[in-house]
Amino acid sequence: MARRRLSKKLEGSAIGIARHELHLVSRDASNIEGNASGWVKPANVEEVVTILRDCHARRIPFVARGAGTGLAGGAVPTMGSIVISMMGMNRIRSVDADGRFAWVEPGVLNADLSRAVARHGLHFAPDPSSQQSCTIGGNVANNSGGPHCLSTGVTSAHVLAIEAVLSDGSVVTLDQESSPFDLRGAFIGSEGMFGIATAIKVRLTQNAPHHATVVVGFPTIDGGARAVSAIIAAGIVPSALEMMDAPITRAVESYVHAGFPLDVGALLIIEVDGLPHGVEADIDSCLTICRQHEASYIRRAQTDAERAIIWKGRKTAFGAIARIKPNYYLHDTVVPRRRLAEVLGKIGHIAAAENLQVMNVFHAGDGNLHPLLLFDRREEGIMPGECYPESTVLVSRSVTSCRSCSTKPALPRSRSFGEPSILRVWRIPARCCRLGRDVEIRSPRPRALGCEDSDMTRSKGLSSGVLRFEPDELIVTVRAGTTMEELASVLGSKRQRLRIPAIGTVGGALATRRNGPFPSDNFALPNIVLKIHAVDGSGNAFVAGGGTVKNVSGFDLVKLLVGSWGTLATITEATLRTEPIPGCSRWFVGAGDVGALYRPALVAPCRNGWCVNLEGHPDDVAQQAALLENYDEIAPPAALEMIELFSIAESPPERLEMTPAIFDICRRLKSEFDPDNTLSPLLSARWGLA
């Protein structure tokens, strides 16, 4: 009945009810199978609105779907859902090469976008292994990363705005101007449970002028893992650090013929990109460290074609294992980099004890493990379900000794979220239809904390001090009352930093999203905030995020808290991602063109035109400086000069003009976190949320 009603309203759209079609859209690339009752492929936002309004009015469950390459069951329908395929919306609407952004529809393929903007010397940075077939909409839904997210960040660092249709058919634009809270950041990674993206404004990144791609072999995976930890500890952050163990290396070489050595215990792919002198210095340092850890094989790509086949080998690793077993179950877990060797060793021991065939291919640079459990689903007793307990035992036992880990969830496992529940903000019975997903909401009441001061923008009365600084991990955990000047001093002692002005407190910087003049890239707020301890308006403590350097599991409450001006919760503690201080930094002021520069650290308006900060290898900085005509070099600006030059915001925005749908979401957020309006009541009233 529902299909017939939709068919009459969507004359130009493809609507499928054939058995073989429903079989295809009832699963993704995971081992999870669902049951769709129909599928529809809208061609534009108007048709998406029509579908969702009809589903909302009749309580029809639905699931949005991209290319179906996901491995966590995100596109798998349950409850006889309608599947909404976004592959019909596949246009690149516009490209602004000067502004380095593009508006694209969700069905645009990841690699197609980069190919389309290559003539401008640009690309879309997130590069998951499925980038030849996955979509930008799917990247947004899963907050996808990829090998090169080690240096450039995951999808949330490259999405500036989202046009979305909420479950009741409301069309909204999610950006940092339309709302007092970062709804854009919360939407990314929500796997379609908050609405359906119909257009995405993506950040485009300059193509690097120089690359160094090296394949390094080690006798054991332990040696390779320790080399990775040593590279990061030396203050070098390559663009990619990828590792494969011996079994999967053999499978890949048999499949792709990339020239990988077959007599090594582990293979490490190191890539450094950027300006020539810096690239060569960093790759030389990386290889020196590898030799110190008994590297037995080193080969550098000499041509673009050789580099391409190396990356083809890495990115087709999952497909290559079909030569051994037809099926696999993937775990996606992040552990501290210093524990890589230990955890990999435990995985091997447990796999042997449990008689499991396991292969490892993973993003070594950020500790993102991908243990693959191989099996044949045709064997009696294997499916359904038997592989899940074994795989859970494997990973849970191997990471038990780690202080922190982040595991990306896979349906149909139930999920647990702390209080307040973000789901209730977007999925309320009065106006939202049932999404076709199995999700169990468990919201245990956390213990209450006493916190007299709720002014998160000043952090008055909050404890101060650096709780834990792990320079080898590029992570620092600090109390909210700590001054930014004190934190900068601690980090500077180990040649590390945050790109946040040394003004006020850590809590104040997070509450106001105080980036100062620095660009909102991978190393700016809120992208460097990994974990937050906070207290809501009722005095209940909760934790958002995770303590590892990469954490994209669950809903991103961190994005909502950063920049909320203390209206949702009081931050008491934060774990932040640091970065090494570059070898050379020079400042210039002038009025000339800066378009020829390669990724300057800063380009910001000032009284005399533009203030430009160039960082990196001294020879590269000198060559970049030579491109600046009519510019004068100046001394590095101190904190007071930064304020004078760049006018850092010290007051919250005035009352915002929000659409009814955005206002409703923000009001519900405020009600969930602070039902009695005890946090920043005057500011909440100014925004109309009290």
Q: Which helix (H) or strand (E) holds 37?
A: strand 36-41
Task: Categorise residue 191: left if φ over 0, alpha if ψ from -120 to 50, beta otherwise.
Answer: left
What's the Cα-to-Cα distance from 497 to each of 193, 334, 474, 562, rounded to whole Å?
Answer: 36, 23, 9, 19
Q: Alpha-carbon distance 285 to 279, whole Å?
A: 10
- The single-letter code of the amino acid at 161 is A
Cβ within 8 Å of residue 463, ≥6 positions away: 479, 480, 481, 572
pLDDT, position 418: 41
Q: Are residues 180 and 158 in the same domain?
A: yes
- Of 466, 463, 499, 461, the C-alpha closest to 648 is 499
Taking 50 as the pLDDT cut, the residues of the chain under it are: 1-2, 12, 386-389, 391, 399-420, 427-460, 639-640, 643, 647
Instruction: Check whether residue 320 and residue 309 sit in a common domain.
Output: yes
Give the per-residue pLDDT at 462: 65
Last-in-domain residue among 61, 87, 113? 87
Whether residues 570 and 619 share a domain: the answer is no
Q: Which of 181, 206, 231 is the last residue of a domain?
A: 206
- 177: in domain: yes
Structure tokens at 18: 């054939």
- Is-cis flag, bond preceding 384, omega within 30? yes
Cα–Cα dist 630/648, whole Å: 26
Q: Please check whether residues 325 and 455 belong to one and the same domain.
A: no
Residues 541 and 393 in one domain: no
Helices and strands per DSSP (H, E), number in the chain: 22, 32
Residues 385 and 289 in one domain: yes
Question: Please, which residues have CB within 8 angstroms of residue 566's CB and are 6 or more apart in sequence?
Answer: 454, 455, 456, 457, 511, 679, 680, 683
Residue numbers of the domain that contains 149: 89-206
Q: Does 27 map to a domain?
A: yes
Q: Are 241 and 337 contained in the same domain?
A: yes
Q: Are residues 272 and 387 in the same domain?
A: yes
Q: Is residue 671 in some structural domain?
A: no
| Residue pLDDT, tens place only, 626-664 | 999 888 888 886 534 654 555 455 577 776 789 999 999
Total domain count for the chain?
A: 5
List, in sequence order, every residue forming a beta bridge with 272; answer none if it has no partner: 212
For the chain, the helix, strand and coil percentages under 3-state DSSP, each to the nearest 5: 30, 25, 45
Question: Angle 134-368-555 (CA atoms, 0-180°, nearest 5)?
Answer: 65
Residue 438 and residue 572 in one domain = yes
The position carrying tokens 């409301």 is 170
Query: Rounded CA gap, 169 and 148, in Å?
Result: 36
Do both 391 and 305 map to the same domain? yes
3-class SS at 386?
Answer: coil
- Determine contact, residues 406/550, Cβ cutoff 8 Å: yes
Given 87, 110, 138, the domain boundary residue is: 87
Tell whether 420 is covered by a domain. no
Which residues 6+ apart lie within 8 Å of 161 measured at CB? 173, 174, 175, 184, 200, 201
pTM given for the model: 0.89
User: Domain containing 43 — which CATH number?
Assistant: 3.30.43.10
Write b or e for each residue in 40-66: b if 16 or more Cβ atoms lie within 10 A of its Cβ, otherwise e: bbbbebebbbbbbbbbbeeebbbbbbb
End-to-end Cα, the chain, rounded Å: 43
DSSP 261-297: -SS-SEEEEEEEEESHHHHHHHHHHHHHHHHHTT--E
Residue 515 and residue 536 share a domain: yes
The DSSP code sequence of 561-609 is: HTTSTTSSEEEEEEEEE-EEPPSEEEEEEESS--TTSSS-SEEEEETTE
Tell me how far apart the alpha carbons of residues 258 and 610 are, in angstroms, rounded to a whole number. 47
- Residue among 432, 433, 336, 349 at smallest CA distance from 393: 349
Q: Is the peptide bond before 420 cis (omega within 30 degrees of 0)?
A: yes
Q: Are residues 452 and 318 in the same domain?
A: no
Number of neighbours of residue 442 by Cβ within 10 angstroms? 11
Predicted local confidence at residue 153, as pLDDT:
93
**Within a domain: residue 688?**
no
Query: Which CATH number does the domain housing residue 483 bear?
Result: 3.30.465.10
CA distances from 188 to 69, 144, 197, 427, 688 (A): 17, 9, 10, 16, 26
pLDDT digits (tens, 9 = 90+) for 158-198: 999 999 999 999 999 999 888 999 999 999 999 988 999 99
- The Cα–Cα gap between 81 and 61 comes to 5
